Amino acid sequence: MIRLKITSMLLDEVRRDLARPHAFACERVGFLKAGLALSESDCAILVHSYAPVADDNYLEDPSVGAMMGPHAISEAMAAAFDDHVALFHVHSHGGRGLPRFSGVDLRENQKFVPDFFKVCPQRPHGAVVLSDTHAYGQVWLKPDSPGHPIDQFQVVGPHYRKWMKA
């Protein structure tokens, strides 16, 4: 089973940041940094920090909600290399209930997530999309394999929440 765990305080910080308006992008994006706890049958992705994409690292592209420039990806890859962390691209679709990746999200995730293995091959990497109440994500365990859905999300804090992929 693949689980992603995050504290409620950090998740609130991520949601607040992703909700901020941008000068031209319709949405914001960022990166979750995580450690791992592994066993024979379980992979727990333990999110410990968040790195927003800086305002000037967005490219104007009206065909998508937000397009990261190459510097945004290189900064994220440098963090993976320096800190030996798993990286998860994150953005929000808002609303309530279980979100899903759009066709554009799926295509773009497949393009850039496997590149994270070039700088941190010993960690899985992936992408997460948030709603206001839930999350959905994919994890790549190897660069040449397809992304697998994250089986379970856990939010740890005063009000513990857990949901499974549908």
Express each pLDDT in 49-108 by its tens digit.
999 999 999 999 988 888 898 899 899 999 888 889 999 999 999 999 999 999 999 999
Structure tokens at 75: 């900064």
Third-level CATH fold of 2-164: Cytidine Deaminase; domain 2 (3.40.140)
Per-residue model confidence (pLDDT) at position 163: 66
Q: What ranges do the domains of the chain cover?
A: 2-164
DSSP class of residue 114 equals G
In this predicted structure, the answer to whether residue 35 has a pLDDT above a threshold of 70 is yes
81-95: pLDDT as tens digits = 888 999 999 999 999
User: Using CA atoms, how far apart are residues 81 and 96, in angstroms rounded to an integer?
Assistant: 35
In this predicted structure, the answer to whether residue 145 has a pLDDT above a threshold of 70 is yes
Per-residue model confidence (pLDDT) at position 49: 96
User: Using CA atoms, how far apart are residues 71 and 115, in angstroms rounded to an integer?
Assistant: 14
User: Using CA atoms, how far apart are residues 102 and 93, in angstroms rounded to an integer?
Assistant: 9
User: Using CA atoms, how far apart are residues 82 and 130, in angstroms rounded to an integer?
Assistant: 27
